[in-house]
Amino acid sequence: MKIEIAIAYLSTASVILPFGLAIYQLKYLRNNLRLILILLLFSLLADGLSYFLSRRAINTNWIVNYYLLIQFSLFGMIYLIELKRPRFLMLIALVFVPYFVIGTMFFYGLFDFNTHANSIAGLILVGISIYYLYHLLKELQVDNIAKVPMFWITFAVLCYYGGTLALFLVNNLMADNYPDSHRMLWIFHNICNILKNILLAIGLWQNYRNLKQPL
């Protein structure tokens, strides 16, 4: 089996760990962690549909585009809950989401990867997550920050969007001019996705531990 295929399968399978942890403690999940569960469910559906279509040589970029929009929206809602800054974050959503949809439908096309919009989404979420970490450390009310589920979720956001930001910026350019680079770019993307799911799983595990031994 080729390395890129093995990593792609591992990336797809990695969502099972946080999804299983979320389902196991479903009735105890707070609103923000319920949104993580919804995100993981969409991830499973997107990966399953992508696998089904790619086996039939059908373009799956539209799935990637709209999954990333859903992921951006759900992470944004999580930070809206945590930071209690509804006006600021809602303004970002009201500007960005129409921009993403219009760009995908009319400029890039439904079956091309929306490089600019996904790069902007990455910049926005990296900025928000860094601000959240500052806010968390400034208002720290626990002795061990590693026990806070949102600490790990924020690092999951930073790992994925920080790691893939450059990839999203150059994806179409590299694919058009250096076809062989596409393989390495998406190997890197899948590695970032695996790390994101591991960090989400740690956050969900910490939430489960806190149920037994509150912060």
pLDDT in tens, 41-71: 999 999 888 888 877 878 888 888 889 889 9
CATH code of the domain containing 145: 1.20.1070
C-beta of residue 150 within 8 angstroms of C-beta of residue 136: yes
Please name which of 114, 109, 42, 103 lies closest in space to residue 71, comparing C-alpha atoms: 42
Boundaries of domain holding 67: 3-212
Calpha distance 27→46 (Å, rounded): 25
Q: What is the mean pLDDT of the chain?
A: 85
Structurally, the chain folds into a number of domains equal to: 1
Mean pLDDT of 75-91: 82
Say what the pTM is: 0.89
C-beta of residue 121 within 8 angstroms of C-beta of residue 68: yes
For 161, counting Cβ atoms within 10 Å of its Cβ (0-12 exposed, 13-18 middle, 19+ buried), the class is: buried
Phi then psi for 214, rounded to 5 degrees? -55, 150
